[in-house]
Structure 1
Amino acid sequence: MANETEPNNPSLNDAGDSAGLAALISRAARAGKGLPPVDRWNPDFCGDLDMEIRPDGTWFYLGTPIGRLALVQLFSTVLRKDEDGKTYLITPVEKVGIRVVDAPFVAVEMNVAGHGDAQLITFRTNVGDVVEAGPSHPLRFVDEAETGGLKPYVLVRGRLEALVARSVMYELVQHGEEIDIGNQRMFAVRSGGEIYPIMPSETLQRLSL
């Protein structure tokens, strides 16, 4: 809220300049010790910020990439996606909108332990989150119509997902298997006691021809 910002700190209503960004960095640093309870904060909306997260996970501010990983990691801890489908940076006193082209995070590495029902797939994101795919962090697979490709996502927290990087996706599908789900045979992957369908087995067979 503009009238609740600290003395000598610019309002985020004017966050399009370096002073406004410095104010956001300062407040995010105080809010972002560990993972702050952003889902419990309900500050006033202070407008949109010219900040964008590209599909490869690169953050841009005013059209320029943010090169400092520590700063990107800091901002990532105060991200929240709301029911309106928009993504915001949240501090206890302000809420600013940013643009996310695809997903806010990218899963850049994975590890597989165990087999069958005991199999567990763990992902690491580009900002350092480590999540185990399962009931709390489900996987989903989306057909990319324009390219005919497959895009897997894993839920990181709240409504925030990580797009599984292409190289990691190839590794992921190597752990897939054909499983009967309901009345259909599916090519799917197991993790954390859950089964995540990738595609019908007949589709996989056509692709393999």
Structure 2
Amino acid sequence: MPYEPPPELTALSLGEIADLVTARRLPPVTDWTPSETLDSGIEIRADGSWYHEGGRIERPAMVRAFSSLLMRDAAGDYWLCTPHQRHAVQVVDAAFVAVDVVAREGALVFRLNTDDLIVAGPDHPLRAAGTAEQPAIYLGVRHGCEARINRSTWLQLVELADGDDWAVTSQGLRFPLVPA
């Protein structure tokens, strides 16, 4: 079955986004305790592109499937997990890239490079890193993984910022767009 990406964010209400998020059933990777550890030969580069043994993975559906198995442990290491094996993955910056954002009914909704839709809030906080001159904003995604907010999405966030303090609000929480 061919992969169909979700509709553009601008065309969706918050309720429709919630339905799409609920419809994507993810594997229970945190429930699995694989006994075998291997190297996957996979690298996720800073631009969000996936490579296997030096060759770019070109199929978006394959990247999306692999990303559903991705987790980051307490030591900061990334793994593709299955019930019986975990495969080490090298991640240059963040496992995902946020490529779009819209404000809907008091919430900020992000589209990732994997077509995942994430609503910023208590379960998916925004984190400001870097410097005031070169901020790096990250969005919590799942299983310890984050998405780096790309430049055009950061500029969209600046347009959505409340007041003069360079911060945005989503689901009642305020998130700074520059590090303290």
Q: Name the TM-score, length of structure 1 as normaliser.
A: 0.70
Map 1:1-209 → 2, pairs under 5 A: 34-114=25-105, 119-144=106-131, 148-178=133-163, 186-199=165-178
Runs of 4+ in 1 over 6 A off after TM superposition: none
Unmatched runs of 5 consecutive residues or more in structure 2 = 1-23
| Structure 1 residues 60 and 47: CA distance shift in structure 2, 3 A | same
What is the aligned length?
Answer: 157
Unmatched runs of 5 consecutive residues or more in structure 1 = 1-32, 180-185, 204-209
1:137 Cα offset (Å): 0.8
Please give the secondary structure, in 2, of the residue aligned with 1:95. strand
CA RMSD of aligned residues (A): 2.0
The one-letter code sitting in structure 2 at the alignment partner of 1:109 is D
**Higher-helix-fraction structure:** 1
1:113 Cα offset (Å): 2.3
Please give the secondary structure, in 2, of the residue aligned with 1:174. helix
Structure 1 Cα separation of the partners of residues 178 and 77 of structure 2: 29
- Work out which of the two has the higher radius of gyration on C-alpha atoms and give 1 or 2: 1
The structure, 1 or 2, with the larger RCO (C-alpha pairs under 8 Å, 6+ apart) is 2
The one-letter code sitting in structure 2 at the alignment partner of 1:50 is G
What is the percent sequence identity of the aligned residues?
Answer: 39
Structure 2 Cα separation of the partners of residues 88 and 193 of structure 1: 32
